Amino acid sequence: MLALNQYIDHTILKSTTLIADIEKLCAEARQYDFAAVCVPPNFVKKAKSLLEGTAVKVATVIGFPFGYSAVEAKIAETVLAMVDGADELDVVVNISAIKNGDWVYLANEINHIMPVIKSKNKIIKIIIESGVLTDDEIIKCCELYGVAGIDYLKTSTGYAEKGATIEAVKLFRLHLPEHVQIKASGGIRDHVFAQQLIDAGATRLGCSASVAIVQGAKGGSDY
């Protein structure tokens, strides 16, 4: 098993993010050797330059946080993020389409976004906002995105009332193909909960309280 720091995407996604916040985030990612940083799209280029010469990946979000951007808009965001140097794309799918049972729309969405990301050999993490979904909806997502061949299914944006849960991670693991990994995010603030999510099957954790978590302390906000 990896050391805890290697599971963490050190994250800041608030709308008021400052360049100073990104500098601090990347300095901490360097210090603690986190798996990745996850930053707003407009800070990808900055984060990439700050992390040059390290193994820390740069992730960003697409269609964030509600997922109802047009497919064409998500593709444009994706292309621009990759041009700026993003290694990993955390894509919010159309949550409204999930709630309305429009699986044809969702299949079309992923079938258009996936080739763009995979043509550049980048990592795709699909965010489904498990806290607002029923178990049946989560299972259907696991089936759809598992077949699509994504790299990770991610629990949450951190903006819904309910973030990552052990139950959701276990449900993901039960219904996803073995090759699809799980990213838990939203409300992970302490070492104990982080370890419980890993034990349940998560292989990445999206956290803003990353430093406190690896130090075994509690602190921080969702993002």
Residue 61 backbone dihedrals phi, psi, to 5 degrees: -110, 150
Residue 216 has a pLDDT of 85
pLDDT(220) > 90:
no
Residue 221 has a pLDDT of 46
Residues 177-181 have a mean pLDDT of 97
Residue 187 pLDDT level (bands cut at 50, 70, 90): very high
The active-site residue out of 57, 87, 183, 222 is: 183
**pLDDT tens-digit series, residues 27-49:** 999 999 999 999 999 999 999 99
| Domains along the chain with CATH numbers | 4-214 (3.20.20.70)
pLDDT(106) > 90:
yes
Closest to 7 measured CA to CA, from 47, 78, 57, 41: 57
pLDDT(99) > 60:
yes
The pLDDT > 90 percentage for the chain reads 95
Residues 84-113 have a mean pLDDT of 98
**pTM listed for this prediction:** 0.95
pLDDT(222) > 60:
no
Residue 218 has a pLDDT of 53
Residue 33 has a pLDDT of 97
Q: How far apart are CA 164 and CA 48, in angstroms?
A: 27
Residue 67 has a pLDDT of 97
* Per-position DSSP letters for the chain, written without gaps between them: ---GGGGEEEE---TT--HHHHHHHHHHHHHHT-SEEEE-GGGHHHHHHHTTTSS-EEEEEESTTT--S-HHHHHHHHHHHHHHT-SEEEEEP-HHHHHTT-HHHHHHHHHHHHHHHHTTT-EEEEE--GGGS-HHHHHHHHHHHHHHT-SEEE---S-SSS---HHHHHHHHHHS-TT-EEEEESS--SHHHHHHHHHHT-SEEEESSHHHHHTT-------
**pLDDT tens-digit series, residues 107-162:** 999 999 999 999 999 999 999 999 999 999 999 999 999 999 999 999 999 999 89
- Provide the residue count of the chain: 223
The active-site residue out of 9, 90, 151, 222 is: 90
Q: Decide if 46 is catalytic.
A: no
Residue 2 pLDDT level (bands cut at 50, 70, 90): confident
Cross-strand pairs, 59 = 38, 88
H, E, C per residue of 167-208: HHHHHHHHHCCCCCEEEEECCCCCHHHHHHHHHHCCCEEEEC
The active-site residue out of 74, 122, 125, 154 is: 154
Residue 55 pLDDT level (bands cut at 50, 70, 90): very high
Residues 10-14 have a mean pLDDT of 97
Which residues lie below 8 Å from residue 73, measured CB to CB, with a gap of 6+?
63
